Structure 1
Amino acid sequence: MTPSDASAESAGRWSSLDRPPLNAASLRRALVTPDSLWTSLEVVETTGSTNSDLAARAGELPEGAVLVAEEQSAGRGRLDRSWEAPARSGLFFSVLLKPAEVPVERWGWLTLLAGVATATGLSRAAGVDTALKWPNDLLVTVDGEERKTGGILAEKAEGALVIGIGLNVTLTEDELPVPGAGSLALAKATVTDRDPLLKAVLRSLEDWYGRWRAAEGDPAASGLQETYAAGCATLGRHVRAELPGGRELTGTAEAVDAEGRLVVRTAEGERERVGAGDVIHLRGH
């Protein structure tokens, strides 16, 4: 690369001064320390999906690897939905966890744990209230309306779990991927600098993961089940659950059980447990 090429690339990277690149070296110094869960942190300009990239290397990498992308061209959410945003407008990253001492049947709680950790970290670092929509959406309030600003996707890979987190940070109304989406900036966050936000979320995730692992994945003993319920905007709401196979269930979301399933009480008074599906908060109830 010639000096002019390097200069042009540098100018391109900084062409949007309100969206500077992440400082990978500084992030590594702060997070990858001898006593930390995080063993490596890599920032790439663009990739299809950080989850797919990390899952492909799950067998060779130690627990605690972190992969961050400034832009994802094929980011995925639950139910194979796409997740797209302008470069450097959000946080798009995946972490590799290998909780070998925790029974595999409790690994499903890690999606909910990541939600609790992200909401907790953002509340502290960004000064914005973040609620959880079961099972894995992060909600903020924009002009009095709940809007999705982030999501979490967990996937098993070679005896490990890859957890991907996507957060809209500085997206404007014109840049939102779908109506009803939100961003930290639109929610009037006091901080939208992505470096401290990423550090806060990863430190919170390390803390919660440590508690959960020390309790051998027990959601009650680790405090995870109670904390998730306290921050879950779905509980107490009238909801419609769109279940696998095309079935629908309508009722009041009452609790999250010991397996992380949503307990819905129907109009007939029956309680059904939802382990997978899409949950919609219904208005006017």
Structure 2
Amino acid sequence: MTVIEVSNLQKRYGDQVAVRDVSFEVRPGEIFGIVGPNGSGKTTTVECLTGLRQADGGTIRVLGLDPTRDRAELRHQVGIQLQESHLPDRLKVWEALDLYSSFYAEPADWRALMDELGLTAKRNTVFAKLSGGQKQRLSVALALVGNPRIAVLDELTTGLDPQARRDTWQLVRDVRDRGVTVVLVTHFMDEAERLCDRLAVVRAGEVVAIATPAELVARTELPGVERPTLEDAVLALTSPTATGRTATSPN
């Protein structure tokens, strides 16, 4: 059973190929990671599967819906936290949650959500005065306020200090424990290893491997390296000299 199916996705911006050939499936209840170098097509891929961009080729189904044709319906099923998301500086935490909840027919209780995500003490704080970690918590709260079945989180911990990153990791686990399937885009390998059930490794707009973090490490053989890390494995798969694809995990 799958909740997301992406097959031979392609996307161009003029003469630039952003996504050449991306295929993967996401299962219900998992944290599915997408990793790869900057410019490899990670963000474009999730923007296409959430209906924010229209693909040039291939097929996408999210909960059986076409993100382009069924975008309005999909908006009620998928919560999104994007890398470049930003709110007006003077908007208060409670105002943002109240506003976003009004977009949905059956929203979550935003007051309870605010409490669950540790934002109640900041309910009257304007966005500009929030710390980086608090902004990320608010971003996740806004992604969940519509009671989605899937949450797409893009570079969630970029720019956060180590403690805020660890707090955010627990937040992602809590989201999954709510019964929400998570698609996590990240360039931090420690984050991918700690959080993700499976990873799609993307290089130059193509998926070159899909496996668990442990499987990717186990497949990696590097001269002079006795115990390769996940970072070693991903670098080996995405380096300019890498060729071909590895077998995907059967599980």
More helix by share: 2
Structure with higher strand content: 1
**If you compute each CA radius of gyration, which structure gives the higher value, 1 or 2?**
1
Q: Which has the higher contact order (CA 8 A, sep 6+)?
A: 2
